[in-house]
Amino acid sequence: MMRVSVVQLSSQADLQRNLDKVVELVSRAAEMGAELVALPENFAFMGESEDDRRAIAEDVPGEGPIVKTLQTLARERGVFVLAGGMPEKSTDAAKPFNTSALVAPNGAVLAKYRKVHLFDVDLPDGTTLRESGSCTPGTETSVAEVRGKKLGMTICYDVRFPELYRRLVDAGALIVSVPAAFTLTTGKDHWLPLLRARAIENQVFVLAPAQTGKHPRGRQTYGKSAIIDPWGDVIAQCGEGEGIATATLDFAYQERVRAALPSLRHRKM
């Protein structure tokens, strides 16, 4: 068994305000018994200007305020903290990575994942997003260990690429994280179906913390942060506004699902 929480935020342009809210909600989750607490994509900053985002990019691990806040929080609360997505410095100063990091209860950065699939779209509501114009894509997968169980790390738009999750399962992942800032337009139709599909086809637990509400530059995110089990059932979900959802992951149940429906062993490709 493992007790986990996903945090739902409405992050803005104020870095300190965002970090204060992270501390508040992770602390609340820890008080409820969570051993692993997952934060959404862009948890530290969703602002007006890409220049501002570049300015707060940090080394991971490093000595910047975002990483140090997470390390202190993990140590003080005795929990694993999954940083959902933050700007990490790259060799191109104009294009930091979008990086998810796993921080252990002793404050060590155990693993990190740089978002591979960048969100370049023209949506039906007129929204145009070009993540590749401000981010450097990652090139590698990442699987880390939490309390003896393997966690595969992804970010947001990755959820549309099932081959990534197959690779994580082949590496032993029993849990996958999908921190996100899903747009309202796509989220209302695709968020939960995609998450449930990744859970069902890979027979994994899915942790999906998300952004919600209105942000600078007219952005609106869908929310509905969720925890999903290997059968595809939503076992915890956030409502409206900022908050947390908490559930217990039962790995014996996961073994029963995989034994009763051995689709992973039936793969031909």
Residues designated catalytic: 41, 115, 156
Q: Please tell me the predicted confidence (pLDDT) of residue 72.
A: 98
Percent of the chain with pLDDT over 90: 92
Question: Can you tell me the distance from the alpha carbon of 87 to that of 97, in angstroms, rounded to the nearest whole number?
Answer: 6
Q: Which residues contact 262 (CB under 8 A, 6 or more apart)?
A: none
* pLDDT at residue 126, as a whole number: 74
For residues 42 and 48, what is the distance between their CA atoms, to the nearest angstrom?
Answer: 13
**C-alpha closest to that of 228 among 244, 249, 210, 212:** 249
φ and ψ at 5, to 5 degrees? -135, 150
State both tokens at 5.
């929480």
Taking the model in full, what pTM does it have? 0.96
What DSSP state is assigned to residue 265?
G
Give the structural domain span for 83: 2-266
Residue 123 confidence (pLDDT) above 90: no
Closest CA to 153 of 226, 206, 192: 206
pLDDT one-digit tens code per residue, 13-56? 999 999 999 999 999 999 999 999 999 999 999 988 888 999 99
Domain count across the chain: 1
CATH number for the domain including 256?
3.60.110.10
Q: Is the pLDDT of residue 210 over 90?
A: yes
pLDDT of residue 264: 97
Question: Which amino acid appears at position 176 of this protein?
Answer: V
Is the omega angle on the peptide bond into residue 162 within 30 degrees of 0, that is, cis?
Answer: no
- Nearest alpha carbon to residue 39 among 52, 29, 51, 54: 29
